[in-house]
Amino acid sequence: MNDFGLKMVEAFPEAAVLMDLEGRVVEINKVALDLLGYRSLDVVGRSLFEFAPAQEETTLRDLVDETRVLGRIRNRRIRLYDVRGRLCELKAAFSHYQDEASSFAGLILVFRDAAALSKLEKELFELRDFSQALLDEADVGIAVTDLKGTVVFASKGVEEAFAVSQGSLVGRNLIKESGSQLALNERFERLIKTGQSFDFESVTEVGGEKRFYSNIFTLRRDRAGRAKGAVVLCNDVTKISEMEGQLRDTNSILREQAVDLKRIVEITRRLGSFLEKNRIYEEMAEAARKTLDPAAICYLQRRAKSGELEVDWTMGFEKKPDIALFIEGLKTPKIIPDVTSVKGLSDIGGFEGACAAVFIPILRKKKVFAALALFLNQTREIRRGEIEILQSIGNSAAVALENARLYREIKESAAQLEIKVFERTSELERSNKVKDLFIDIMRHDLLKPADIGRLSTELVLEMEEDQDKKDILDKILQSQERMIDLIENASILAKLESGEVFEISEEDLGAVLMSTATELEDLAEAKNMTLKINAAGEYPALVNPLIYDVFSNLLGNAVKYGPENTMVSAKITESGPSWRIEVSDCGEGIPDVYKEDIFQRFSRLEKGGVKGTGLGLAIVKRVVAAHKGRVWVEDNPGGGSRFIVEIPQAFKNFLK
Ligand code: ADP
């Protein structure tokens, strides 16, 4: 025997045995040995029948004979003992073997462990049931069809999608039995031909409830890629389409609200742009008409005086409606679907045919402050959005009316103010005239007699010999001089304050300073004081002659308040666009707290025995201000005070 047969048995993937025609084992492969537990030498050379139970030997011999005749026998159950004497159930196939070259004829027996096989089979069945159950449980249905659309497998979900019971679905044709057969047929054929998947939508009714399915058909191919049928995935999309519907509803509500909102903004803007009461009411009625088209409208307001809610404006009523009662106490808008059902409301204001009414309270501090009432001569559903618009109309109208009232009041008070200003101006003009008159009286009518008085006193004083009388006359003279000073200063100040036009001409401030210093020389000499003026240059400025008073006041004060045997100095320097005039003395100085006060009228610090009117520095300040300059006082570094004046330079002033 050529060993081809042996090799073939050895290499066979399943348990295999080569026997001669008498059933003697020639070769057994490893798989068979492993299955039965023998070693090769235990088996080779022995008859196969020895391994079978005695009562089955004949059957086995018959099988061998049959194989010789038929050439091949499949799927037979045989039983053989294994090495431990246990009977093994085997599923066996016999085939005749003829070795041409060595003319060996025999049989090949191939077998499997039948028990293991049936276990595997059971497991496979279980797995199939499990997958079926899994598919039946799943949200999707799965169906498998052949090329014609006949169902070969279907899960429970398909039954619902196509409204047929599961059992009967297998073997039936989904395409032919579908309600919308034509369309489905066409698409199914295209799928088979071109592989183009499609979604077929179906609607079924279960217990009166509609369910929507999306059934996706895809091509099923065999291993070689040839079309074999279709796989259908059935999805219940009822929820999704419900949600789509809801989304559509929400969308339209949102759109509606956006439109309402736009209207509200528009109404608020329009109503807010009017300041006239009637115009506001007209606009309000127009906006309400566009919203609900009422047959009659009225607007109520709480009266400030009586505290009562009263109708302020109506449209469409025959007479003022008696309606406050129904609105008082409302916290939110109220819709009355049928006014005839409400006592006292059906015949209100003589208005007939009204079916529904809407009351919109306008609240302030949680109380009805005003209200809008609308009467409709039809029944119709009133949207929430419409009520919201009406509420904004009411609110905007209330604000606009309030603005209108304020505007009216402001206008009225402005008119009154105008009258008052006019009266006051005339009064002022009158009092200015009186002041001018007073200044004139002071200058001419007071100064003259005072001067005459002074001269007379001087004369009498010169003639008088008696010292006691002389002392008295001296006192009289001093108070007369003080009176003249006062009159002169007061009239200057009054003139400055009356705002009279101020005449200016160019002067050299150095010259002004020198001449005032000269005038004061006697006074300084009396106190043995030196006046040191440092103003050698040219200091042109545009000034009024009152500038002399400024310098003589400052120099005069320095002499007046400076101690005997000291020096008073004055100088002019350039400071930016101005001339800076400094007057320094060696007196006690001025405490910081008074540095500003002394420039006020009649502000005098206690100065032992020094006489004055308290008007000098007030005049200085006003004259300097009239020249667009500044004046202030500082401490003199060596003790005493230093008064500083700044007056714009002439050419710089001119340039300004
Ligand atoms: P008066 O006529 O009293 O001098 P002024 O208006 O000229 O009035 O001055 C106001 C007050 O400022 C003076 O009463 C004085 O107390 C104070 N005063 C003014 N100049 C000086 C100074 N050079 N030194 C000290 N005190 C001064």
Condensed to tens digits (0 to 9), the pLDDT of residues 397-439 reads 998 998 888 888 888 888 888 888 888 888 888 777 777 777 7
Per-residue confidence (pLDDT) for residue 656, from 0 to 100: 42
Per-residue confidence (pLDDT) for residue 1, from 0 to 100: 53
Give the Cα separation of 610 and 598 in Å (integer).
15
- Residues 210-222, buried b or exposed e (16+ Cβ, 10 A)? ebbbbbebebbee
Say yes or no: CB of residue 291 within 6 Å of ligand 1.
no
Per-residue confidence (pLDDT) for residue 33, from 0 to 100: 94
Are 566 and 558 a contacting pair, CB within 8 Å? no
| Mean of pLDDT values over 105-130 | 84
Atom of ligand 1 nearest to the CA of 615: 6
Tell me the pLDDT tens digit for each residue of 565-598.
Answer: 999 999 999 999 999 999 999 999 999 999 998 8
Task: Look at residue 296 and give its three-state secondary structure.
Answer: strand
Are 17 and 48 a contacting pair, CB within 8 Å? yes
| Mean of pLDDT values over 211-229 | 88
Atom of ligand 1 nearest to the CA of 489: 2
Say yes or no: CB of residue 613 within 6 Å of ligand 1.
yes
Q: Where are the alpha helices (DSSP H) in 195-320?
A: 238-272, 277-292
Per-residue confidence (pLDDT) for residue 126, from 0 to 100: 83
Per-residue confidence (pLDDT) for residue 202, from 0 to 100: 82
**Which structure tokens are listed for 129?**
């049931």
Q: Give the H or E element holding residue 505.
A: strand 505-508
When the pLDDT of each residue in the chain is averaged and rounded to a whole number, the result is 86
pTM above 0.85, yes or no: no
pLDDT > 90? residue 555: yes
Task: Look at residue 462 and give its three-state secondary structure.
Answer: helix
Are 154 and 129 a contacting pair, CB within 8 Å? no
Say yes or no: CB of residue 187 within 6 Å of ligand 1.
no
Residue type, 473: L
Say yes or no: CB of residue 605 within 6 Å of ligand 1.
yes
Tell me the pLDDT tens digit for each residue of 315-374.
Answer: 888 888 888 989 998 999 999 888 888 887 777 755 566 688 899 999 988 899 999 999
CA of 445 to the centre of ligand 1 (A): 28
- 654 — pLDDT class (breaks 50, 70, 90): very low
**Which structure tokens are listed for 1?**
């025997």
Work out whether strand 15-20 and strand 641-648 pair parallel, antiparallel, or are unpaired.
unpaired
pLDDT > 60? residue 303: yes
- 629 — pLDDT class (breaks 50, 70, 90): very high
SS (H, E, C) 255-281: HHHHHHHHHHHHHHHHHHCCCCHHHHH
Per-residue confidence (pLDDT) for residue 166, from 0 to 100: 54
Per-residue confidence (pLDDT) for residue 528, from 0 to 100: 95
Q: Which of 617, 624, 642 to mutate to test the pocket of ligand 1 (most atoms within 8 A of CB)?
A: 617
Atom of ligand 1 nearest to the CA of 606: 16
Cα–Cα nearest to 203, from 237, 153, 154: 237
247-251, 398-402, 632-636, 644-648: which range is least confident on average?
A: 247-251
Say yes or no: CB of residue 561 within 6 Å of ligand 1.
yes
CB atoms near residue 134 (< 10 Å):
10
Per-residue confidence (pLDDT) for residue 632, from 0 to 100: 97
Task: Look at residue 650 and give its three-state secondary structure.
Answer: helix
| Mean of pLDDT values over 368-396 | 88
pLDDT > 90? residue 273: no
Atom of ligand 1 nearest to the CA of 604: 14
Say yes or no: CB of residue 557 within 6 Å of ligand 1.
yes
Residue type, 354: A
Per-residue confidence (pLDDT) for residue 480, from 0 to 100: 85
CA of 184 to the centre of ligand 1 (A): 118
Cα–Cα nearest to 198, from 206, 186, 210: 186
- 390 — pLDDT class (breaks 50, 70, 90): very high
